Chains A and B, each alone.
Chain A
Amino acid sequence: MKALPEGKSLGWMQAPASWIDSHTVRFIGVVRVVIQDGEGFILIKKGKPLFYYFRQGTIELKGHTALDYFNSHPVIEFNLCKYTPDELAWAMKLCNIEDHDRVLPKGPVVPGPVSTEHSPPARTAVPSVAQPARDTGIPVTIVIPTPVPTINKTPVVSGKVSWEYLPSSGPADSTVAKPARETRIPAEVSPPVPKVEKRAVVSGPVSTVHQPPASTTYPSVANTVGDTKVPVVAPLPVPGVEEKGVEPQPGVSDDPEVTILSQIRDLNGIVALAVFNDSRTVTMMGDADSEVLVTIARKMLETAKKMKPLRTWGPFVHMTIQIPAGNMIIAPYQDNYLCLLTTRVINIGHIRRILRDIQQRGAPLRE
């Protein structure tokens, strides 16, 4: 497998995935996306997304599945890399995308009568042809665009290419996403339902044959401390799945602090939160054993407090420990400490933003 062309990096950004759609009207190139341990890209030609791809471990997402995963994050980190026409052509070739704009001339090449037979609109007849991926022998479904009744100077190509989720048949890109190992994901495993945002990204008919990832590399989250079963249950962090393991708790008071905490708890990906100090747990919300949660949080705090030689750096702002099942965060909160347990849908950037929000809402963090 060959790598996608590097392109010319225009810089790294943190923004919602929707930002990419609305700010790449003239952009030709690849947007390299990094989310937690996974990487992917969006191949874009003048605002038209041609290919979405994401890989985390052995899981590969393509097409709308990958897009849904990008959209499931409030903010993603990405690098805009500009392509020359040749680089784009090469990238499209690697992704098995036909470049109709390059192939077809603007005017009719062969003079003669134009057939006026009715051709069914592309939306109604989209025969899919399984083509072997380059040198892998793994079928990749490409929806061949059918003729459109009207004659256009430029061919209609947007959204005609459909990329199913096909394990181990990723595009040749060793830079952003290395070729999949020979890992077949068993189809019979019941897949999680991905979060699908009602948001059109590609302006044409798109076939969305979808086989979501059926297995993950994440370990079970029910953990044990010693012999104690820890009910710190973060839902399996499957890409694209909106996870909310917290039931609203009755009797939320009008106390502004409780309101702020409730709002944090209700954020997507937050499993539980606790406010604690050295001697007791002040507040506990969410689906976790408060004792175990706070015990672990205190261990983290102990580490943070031991970082004495770094005091010249100022007070510690926050500490996050990221394990395959999720994140555990502690931060000074008023006279106490705040502890958050989250799923993997929240990344470091998101955590930092949440903590900044808390500060702006008048709950200053302190050490």
Chain B
Amino acid sequence: MLAMNYRGPQRVRVDHKPMPEILHPEDAIVRVTRSCICGSDLHLYNGSVPDTRVGMTFGHEFTGVVEQLGEGVEKLKVGDHVLVSFNIACGKCVFCQQGLYGNCHESNPQATAVGGIFGYSHTAGGYDGGQAEYVRVPYADVSPTVIPEGMDPDDAVLLTDVVPTGYQAAEMGGIQPGDTVVVFGAGPVGIMAARCAWLFGAGRVIVIDCVDYRLEFARKYAPCEAYDFRSLEDPAVFIKRTTESLGADVCIDAVGAEAAGSALQTILGRKLLMQGGSATTLHWAINSVKKGGILSIVGVYGPIDALVPIGNLVNKGITIRANQSSVKRLLPRLIEHVQNGVLDPKALITHRIPLEDVSDAYRIFSAKLDECIKPVLMPSSVRS
């Protein structure tokens, strides 16, 4: 089968790889119908996630048709078209039982700090991902959900990560009616977080980024105020001035390790990899949020330390809430929102690219070429 093959920082290609096999009674083999490239895949692509091994296949946002089932799978049948949450979750451990499906303790031997994630390095379990024609899906009674009848597969594939992550970013913000919410990052997750902030009753939503076409997209899609931080003297001062000098009630970090905006952070976090990514967004968010405010983090960082103004965090009494999204917990509500037209995920998709052109797809997304917001890889089996 054809599959994306990581060859080193900023080098990927498509190769023939062996078909995945059932390795556990609760496994399924899924023929992929759509697979996205996620902003967090770019951390892998740029070589900033430890234990990203050459030869691995990335991809944690995908839909597919069930081709084969292990003998222990009870809820799926061959031929089901499923969306597969990016979390690999057993559904039994103490964390899954509490709804923390992103923190499963039975899916990742290599690290205790993160649960298993498809195609996301050995630090997240060493699973090959969905940027391929076929993929092994463990815990098939838990992670996949049959796509509801009538739902557009383009909507479904974005329910595997982007929508729940954006939604959970807003949810973790504990937004109260009338609150001012600042979202750092106008990538797909940031745009979705801004859109979802309204669902929790935000009174004002502001997005900060530096890519003009994405800011323009956010203004229309979210809809919200959107500003280029390069035109602001200091984002923290700007936020204070625009919020009666007190700061935002809630700040959301939807950027993570690849943040631009500070030469020091860029050199230490992105070029020298001496910290777990560039923490510019965290720095701005801590300094922009109101005293007693809430900082919600869904941006992905590496496992080592990062420079943040911890003193301000303490002195301002900020509550930090952060996690990988718990897709399975959120899906019922989000499916409802999509079916009722409250959310329109597929509008984020700007590029449909053949799986065979995965190298170009990564370049287009990472370099933000051709006004790309969200690229979807299409295997040959679903291309007309």
Physical interaction between A and B = no
